[in-house]
Structure 1
Amino acid sequence: MDTRKNIDGLAGGLMVGLCMIWGMQQVVLKAAAEDVAPVLMLALRSGIAALLVALLMLWRRDGLGVRAGNWRPGLVVGFLFALEFMLVGEGLRHTSASHMVIFLYTAPIFAALGLQWRLPAERLKPLQWLGIGIAFMGIVVSFAGRSGGVEAADAGRQLYGDFLGLLGAMAWGATTVVVRSSRLSNAPVTQTLFYQLLGGFVLLIMVCALTDQLRFKPTPIAVGGLIFQALLVSFASFLAWFWLLRNYLASRLGVLSFMTPMFGILFGVVLLGEPLETNFILGALLVLCGILLVSGYEWLSQWLKRRAR
């Protein structure tokens, strides 16, 4: 029997904090891109965080679950984690942090689609299907209406980067499905996270070596960004995320996750001076509404019932 709960105050509060951290990470990657390639930053943060998680596992005496067969789904989530951030790192070379955060955080939509296929407890309701339709409409609107003429080449690059962000969201959604529908669903949080971080570090470093992206200039923004990415993003926030996945229904998680893209856009505009196109703003609003309908279904249905009384 699945004992995972709907969203409560604790989960909501944690999600707000996570949204702020996750909304900042693309901005930090973009800001430090001149000193360290985004893919290398992602590889290094995964390696540092993997070491921290390994130390935590030793202290807590958490095993790797080899005898239980956890290493098999562990390999899969490690690969998907690396794939997601390889796509993000490459995408940030071509598009803005504001665009990346919107497309990457469509992941709950893809996770909900996969989970409703794999797990009976995660079946989607009609209102959630409507939310998925609205979100995909927003994606289409965001991709449409790019500038032409002299700026056609730049528009094409941005379109390519946005598409990579969308593929990264699919990889993230697939990771959630694998975690929830495999032995890792009941494994220690640190074990799942370690598989992801180690897989990410190994595979991303290989990508950096093959694509000649090993340059690291130790400027304050590069070093500070790496500390932020490793300690807050890859270690603390991911531990909190997987704890939430183990204790709450995944398709309901992120009742407030629509705030992540909002924080990302805000930070990108304020800190990096990124411009916003009209079609992108409209598309982003549709995507956020769609995510809210999917992730916040329980709250919305309860609110509608109270209004009907």
Structure 2
Amino acid sequence: MDSRKPLDALSVSLMLLLCLIWSMQQIALKATAADIAPMLQIALRSGVGALLVSVFMAIRGQHVSLADGNWRPGLVVGGLFALEYLLVSESLRYTSAAHLVVFLYTAPVFAALGLHWKLPSERLAALQWVGIALAFGGIAVAFLGGGHRVTAGEPSNVLLGDFLALMAGAAWGATTVVVRTTSLSSLPAAQTLLYQLLAAFVLLLTASFILGQTTFHPTPLALWALAFQSLIVSFASFLAWFWLLRHYQASRLGVLSFTTPLFGIVLGAWLLNEPINPSFMTGSLLILPGIVLVSSYGMLKQWAGALIARHQ
């Protein structure tokens, strides 16, 4: 029997705080891009996060063993995690933080499609296919609706940035599929996180030097952003998320997690003065409900069953 609890005031408050933090990571990357290259910042935060997770695991008596073979799928998810954030950092060179966070959070749609293909128990229901159609319809509207300009008469590469953000969402979705369909599904969450952070540190640091993304001016804002990314995002927020997953029902938490793109849109416009064109807003209003339908089908089905039973 599932011992996880329904949401209460503590879990809702903590989840909303996490969503605010996760949206702020994109804002911080964009706001400090001139002082510290996003790819380098993600690499450094991953290295610090990996060190802190290693200490956390040591305190709890957990360790990584090469003999069990879990390092093989660990390398795969680590590579996918690094690819996701490589695409994120490149995306931020061309598009806004608001666009990035919305397209990045299409990950559950890609994960659902992959799990539908890999696991018989994860076959998509009709309502979930409706959600996928809504999400991809919203993507089409956001991409094809025009408005991809920074200022009047000045062409930009926003479309390229949006595409890279969407591919980052696909990489995140693929990571979920690998975790769910390999031995990683039975490992402590901290160990899987360690694989991801270590791979991101090594691969993104290497990519930073190869691609010339090594700008680092240690301004106060850049240092504060790096500390926020390392201590709060890569370490504290993920541990809090795993604690919530252990104690509360995941489907309920998943619904709240989709406030992250909403926070991202609002904070991007407020803190970075990012313009929000009508086609992107219309697309977002299709994408976000579509993602909720795909990810929260079980909960919606349960609610519908309870509602029908109440009126019989």
- TM-score of the pair, normalised by structure 2: 0.90
Cα distance in 1 for partners of 2:148, 2:120 equals: 47
- Counterpart of 2:273, as a letter, is G
Change (3 A) 1:275 1:4: farther
* Residues 73, 184 of structure 1: 8 Å contact kept: yes
Change (3 A) 1:161 1:180: same
- Counterpart of 1:77, as a letter, is V
Cα distance in 1 for partners of 2:243, 2:180 equals: 12
1:153 maps to which residue?
155
Q: CA deviation at 1:253?
A: 5.6
Q: How does 1:1-309 map to 2 (within 5 A)?
A: 8-9=6-7, 14-147=14-147, 151=153, 153-154=155-156, 157-242=157-242, 254-308=254-308, 309=311
The CA RMSD measured in Å over matched residues stands at 2.3
Change (3 A) 1:42 1:275: same
Q: Could you list the runs of 5+ residues in structure 1 that have no partner in the other structure?
A: none
- Counterpart of 1:119, as a letter, is L
Cα distance in 2 for partners of 1:7, 1:127 equals: 26
- TM-score of the pair, normalised by structure 1: 0.91
Cα distance in 2 for partners of 1:79, 1:158 equals: 26
Cα distance in 2 for partners of 1:48, 1:126 equals: 43
Q: CA deviation at 1:123?
A: 2.6
* Residues 115, 251 of structure 1: 8 Å contact kept: no
Q: CA deviation at 1:252?
A: 7.2
Cα distance in 2 for partners of 1:68, 1:260 equals: 36
Between stretches 233-242 and 133-142, larger displacement belongs to 233-242
Cα distance in 1 for partners of 2:67, 2:248 equals: 27
Cα distance in 1 for partners of 2:13, 2:128 equals: 23
* Residues 7, 253 of structure 1: 8 Å contact kept: no
Q: CA deviation at 1:62?
A: 1.1
- Counterpart of 1:291, as a letter, is I
Cα distance in 2 for partners of 1:62, 1:95 equals: 40
- Counterpart of 2:285, as a letter, is L
Change (3 A) 1:171 1:245: farther
* Residues 131, 293 of structure 1: 8 Å contact kept: yes
Cα distance in 1 for partners of 2:89, 2:153 equals: 23
* Residues 82, 203 of structure 1: 8 Å contact kept: yes
Cα distance in 2 for partners of 1:298, 1:163 equals: 30
Cα distance in 2 for partners of 1:167, 1:251 equals: 24
